[in-house]
Structure 1
C-alpha cells in the first residue's frame, strides 16, 4: 500500500470532520452546512494535485464557470449573492458518499475468502452481474474491486468479465437508495416518491442483467470465462442495511431524508460492528480509513462539489437574467423527459459525468410535485446508461486504473447495450409519465 503524505492525512481528517459536522447538523440545534462545505473544499484544495488530470480539468472548468456566472449575475443583473454560502452545493451528497465508504470497515467484505467452486459460461456472467449489482447497492464502487480482484486471482480479467462488472454496478443507479445518483436526485427534487422510482427502476435493472447475459453469450465464447459465485450469505449485509434505512425513514426519523439517514447510519453500524473487538481496534481502523480511503475519494468529492457550484451559478444567472418565472419547459411531461434523457446520456459519450447534465437541467426547470418524480427517474436512468458507456465515468476510470482496460474500449463494447437500455428507459419514462400525471 502506498504511503500517504502528511498533506493527504490532513485532508482525510478534514473530510472526517466534515462528516461529523454534517451528522451534528441533523440534530437541528446548530446549523453546520456552511462549516461542512468549508471543510470539504479545504480537503479538495489539499488533494488537488493528486486528482487525475482529466478529472482535475473537468472539475476546474466547472468551478470556474460557476464562479463566473455568479459574478456576472451580481455585476450585470444586481443579483443578491450569498458569497459565504456559495460552496454548499451538493455537500449533502458528498458527505453521504463519505458515510457510505465506512461500510468497508464491516468485516472483510469477502476479500479473504477462497475462490470456491468455479462457475463459468453465461451462468458465470449472470452471477457476476448479480453479485456486483446487489452488493454494489450498498458498497458502491468498492464492490467492483472486491469482485474483480477475486476473479483476477485465476487469470487477468477478460472483456466479458469487465463488462459484467461495469453493467452490474451502473445499473444499480436505477433504484438503489444508497447510490450517489439517488443522493443527487433527492437533493435536487426533495418531493420525489421513491416507491414509484423503485417499482419501475428495479425491473429495468433486472432487464439490464438479462440483456448483459444474452448479449455477451452471443458475442463471446464464455466456456472458460469465470464468474463470481454469489452465496445467499453475501446478501445478508446489504439486505440488512436496506431494512435499517427503511426502518429509520418510515418510523424512527421520518423527518430526515434517505440521504441524511444513510449519512449517519452506515458509519454508526460500521463503528458498532468494530467495537466488539475493542475501542483500540476500532480507533485504529477508523484512523487507517481516514488516512487512506478518505483521501482516495478526492475525485468523487471534487466533482460533486464542483457540479454543485456550477448548478448554483447557472440557476442564479438564469433567474436574475430571465426572472423567477422562466423555465426551460412550461411543463415537464413525457416528451420533455425523453429529450432530457437523450441530452444527458449523449453528453456522457463525450466525457461529461451525468451529474453535470442532471444538475444543469434541474437548475433551469420549475417542477411540480408529480414532475419531480418523473425528473428523478430521467436523471437515474440517464445516470445508469451514461456511466456504463461514458469513457470518463467513475466506473470506467476505475476499471482502467485497476485492470488496465481503456475507457474508450469499454465505451465501444457498451454502445449496443446503451442503445437497447436507452430504448427500454424511454419506454419506462413514457409509462411513468402516465402514472404520475
Structure 2
C-alpha cells in the first residue's frame, strides 16, 4: 500500500475529476470546487515532486500571486477571487481522464518480442510511427512501452531515442488527447479542431520523413532494432479517435473536445473492466488511484501553477493598461512567427512550452485575433519545444528511464528543430493568408 499522503492525494485528484465530469451534466455545480480539490491534491503530493520541478512550479505560482496582488493593490483591478485558481483546470482533468486508458486491456509491455528484429530504415520507420500513432492517444506511456521493448534487445542507441522523442513530441501538433490541445481549446474555445488537424498532422508527418532521412544518413542502422507496428496495435487508438469525433459532431455537439475526452476515457475504461467483473474493476480503479494518479503530481502541479501565472499576468496587464494594450496590435504572420520562435527559444533555455504559451496568451486579446492561427502557433511551439528542450518532460523521462543526457538530446535535435521551424513558418504563412 502507498503512504497515506499518496492515498489522500489520489482521492483528491480522482474526486476533482468526478466532480468535473458531473458538472457537464449539472452546470450549477460550482467550478471552484474542482480547482480546490486539484490544488489540494497537488499540495498534498508536493514533497514527492523533484526539486527542479518544485522550483519551477513555485516560481510560476509565486509570480502569479504577486501579479494578482499588484493588479488589485496598485492598479485597483477587479479580481474574481472565487475563480482565481481555475486556470488550466479543464486541462488537468483531461490529463487525469486520459490516464484511465492504461486500464483498458493488458499492458503491451507484457508481451515479449518474437522473431528476428526489424532493422535499418524500416525499423526506424516502425519506431517513429508506433510512438507517434499510439502516443497520440496514450501519450508518454507509449514511449516507455516501445522503448522498453526495444531495450530487451540491447541498450537503446541515439537513433532509437531520437525516434522515440520526435515521434511522441510531434503528436502534440494535432492530437486531441495531448495536453497541448487541451490548453489551446481552453484558451480559444472557438478554434476549429479540424483545421488544427489538417495543418498540424502534415507538419508532424513531414518531421517524421525528415527524421528517417537524417537519422539514416547520420547513423548506421543496419543492426539497430526497430518497433514492429501491426494493424492490430492501431485498432485501439483509431477506435478512440473515432469515438471522440462521434461524440463531438453527433452525440454531444455542445461539449468541447476536452470535455468529451475527460468523461469518455474513464467511461470506456470502467465499461471494459466491468465486463471482467466488479471485483476486477474495483481492484484496478483502486490501484490507479493509489499509484498512477499520485505519479502525475509533477505535471498536474506544473499546469495548475502555469494557469495561475496566466491569470495573474493577464489581470495585471488588463488593470495596468485598462485593457488598451496587447503585445501585438495585429496578430498576423509576423507576430505569429515571432511568438513561435520565442516559445521554442524559451524551451531550449529550459522552460516548458506551456509557460511560453501562457505568457503569450496573457498578452493578447484572444477574443479578437485569429484563433486558429494562435492555436497552431501554440501547438507547433509545443511540439518542437518539447523535442529540443533539455528539461522538457519527454527528455527528462528519457533521461531517467534510459540514462540519456537531456542536453545530448538537445544537441542531436538542433537540426531537426531548425527544419521544423522553417516548416512551421511556412505553415503559419499559409494559415494566416487562408483565413485572413
Report if TM-score (shorter chain) is over 0.5. yes
Structure 1 residue 398, shift from structure 2 partner: 0.7
- Structure 2 CA distance for aligned equivalents of residues 322 and 375 of structure 1: 22
- Structure 1 CA distance for aligned equivalents of residues 231 and 111 of structure 2: 15
2:167 matched residue in structure 1: 168
- Structure 1 CA distance for aligned equivalents of residues 186 and 324 of structure 2: 21
**Are 1:409 and 2:412 matched, yes or no?**
no
Q: Deviations over 1:351-390 (max 9, x none)?
A: 0000011011111111356611000000000000000000
- Structure 1 CA distance for aligned equivalents of residues 175 and 369 of structure 2: 20
The answer on whether the counterparts of 1:22 and 1:32 sit within 8 Å (CA) in structure 2 is no
- Structure 2 CA distance for aligned equivalents of residues 158 and 228 of structure 1: 14
- Structure 2 CA distance for aligned equivalents of residues 80 and 65 of structure 1: 18
Could you list the structure 1 runs, at least 4 aligned residues long, displaced by more than 4 angstroms after superposition. Answer: none
- Structure 2 CA distance for aligned equivalents of residues 135 and 282 of structure 1: 24
Q: TM-score, normalised by structure 2?
A: 0.98
Structure 1 residue 286, shift from structure 2 partner: 0.4
1:81 matched residue in structure 2: 79
Structure 1 residue 123, shift from structure 2 partner: 1.0
Q: Deviations over 1:301-349 (max 9, x none)?
A: 0000000000000000000001123211111111110000000010000
- Structure 1 CA distance for aligned equivalents of residues 188 and 434 of structure 2: 18
The answer on whether the counterparts of 2:331 and 2:369 sit within 8 Å (CA) in structure 1 is no
The answer on whether the counterparts of 1:191 and 1:369 sit within 8 Å (CA) in structure 2 is no
User: 2:92 pairs with 91, 94, 97, which one?
Assistant: 94
- Residue aligned with 1:294, SS: helix
- Structure 2 CA distance for aligned equivalents of residues 28 and 314 of structure 1: 31
- Structure 2 CA distance for aligned equivalents of residues 370 and 306 of structure 1: 25
User: 2:108 pairs with 89, 101, 110, which one?
Assistant: 110
Structure 1 residue 102, shift from structure 2 partner: 0.3
Cα distance change on mapping 1:431 and 1:109 into 2, 3 Å: farther
**Are 1:285 and 2:274 matched, yes or no?**
no
Structure 1 residue 150, shift from structure 2 partner: 0.7
Cα distance change on mapping 1:31 and 1:307 into 2, 3 Å: same
The answer on whether the counterparts of 2:330 and 2:369 sit within 8 Å (CA) in structure 1 is no
1:216 matched residue in structure 2: 215
Structure 1 residue 39, shift from structure 2 partner: 0.7
2:138 matched residue in structure 1: 139
Q: TM-score, normalised by structure 1?
A: 0.98
Q: Deviations over 1:96-144 (max 9, x none)?
A: 0000000000012421222134101111111100000000111000100
Structure 1 unpaired stretches of 5+: none
- Structure 1 CA distance for aligned equivalents of residues 335 and 303 of structure 2: 25
- Structure 1 CA distance for aligned equivalents of residues 36 and 285 of structure 2: 22
1:340 matched residue in structure 2: 339
User: 1:48 pairs with 46, 49, 68, which one?
Assistant: 46
Structure 1 residue 66, shift from structure 2 partner: 0.1
- Residue aligned with 1:77, SS: coil
- Structure 2 CA distance for aligned equivalents of residues 418 and 27 of structure 1: 43
Q: Deviations over 1:145-192 (max 9, x none)?
A: 110111111111111111000000000011101110000000011111
- Structure 1 CA distance for aligned equivalents of residues 140 and 107 of structure 2: 13
- Structure 2 CA distance for aligned equivalents of residues 29 and 422 of structure 1: 42
